[in-house]
């Protein structure tokens, strides 16, 4: 499969529930410093809820992995208040080798939670997954992350306890049928 060029057609202005606007666009390699800044600005608890671990340092290799994507297999949308401003949220999707399912993850700047940013980014990644022909998307959420679990339920995700790890919920959304 050929490497896809930057998908500029996925740039959007998202209107949040409080009426504010954010700019969303596919991530680029030159977003590395802004992603590092986002990760450093997020509370330790929010990092733990996202990565299931208390990460304190972020290696260059880790940041590169987050910002340099093969758009034919993965997508990440970054959100900012201005077209090229600081990143306040990011949602990611990685498809499996068959391109039938994808796994998502989302992280918001801690002071931006509760305004509808997560909802808007999740709707965008669902729209993207559908456009790519994926049959479903899924994710894993810690049991104490009730806000994320409730949002997934409201978006139509099926929510089940992971039988191997009882403190983790598996969420999945069928995109066809």
Is the pLDDT at 177 greater than 70? The verdict is: no
pLDDT (mean) for 105-129: 93
Residue 100 exposure: Cα atoms within 13 Å on the Cβ side: 1
Identify the structural domains of the chain with CATH numbers, from first to last: 8-132 (3.40.630.30)
Q: How confident is the model at residue 3 (pLDDT cuts 50, 70, 90)?
A: low
Query: Which of 110, 94, 112, 111 lies closest to 102 in space, CA to CA?
Result: 94
CA angle 125, 133, 15 (to 5 degrees): 25
- In percent, how much of the chain has pLDDT > 90? 66
Query: Which run of H or E residues covers position 107?
Result: strand 101-108
Span 37-91, pLDDT tens digits: 999 988 888 887 787 777 778 889 989 999 999 998 999 999 998 766 899 999 9
């Amino acid at each position: 499969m050929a490497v896809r060029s930057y998908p500029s057609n996925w740039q959007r202005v998202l209107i949040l529930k409080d009426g504010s606007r954010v700019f969303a666009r596919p991530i680029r390699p030159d977003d590395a410093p802004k992603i590092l800044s986002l990760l450093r600005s997020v509370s330790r608890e929010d990092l733990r809820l996202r990565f299931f671990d208390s990460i304190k340092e972020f290696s260059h290799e880790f940041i590169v992995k987050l910002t340099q994507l093969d758009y034919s297999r993965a997508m990440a949308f970054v959100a900012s208040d201005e077209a090229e401003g600081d990143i306040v949220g990011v949602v990611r999707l990685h498809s499996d080798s068959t391109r039938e399912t994808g796994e998502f993850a989302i992280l918001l700047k801690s002071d931006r939670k509760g305004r509808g940013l997560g909802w808007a980014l999740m709707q965008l990644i669902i729209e993207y997954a559908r456009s790519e022909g994926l049959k479903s998307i899924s994710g894993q959420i810690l049991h104490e992350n009730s806000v994320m679990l409730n949002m997934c339920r409201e978006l139509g995700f099926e929510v089940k306890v992971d039988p191997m790890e009882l403190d983790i919920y598996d969420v999945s959304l069928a995109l066809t049928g």
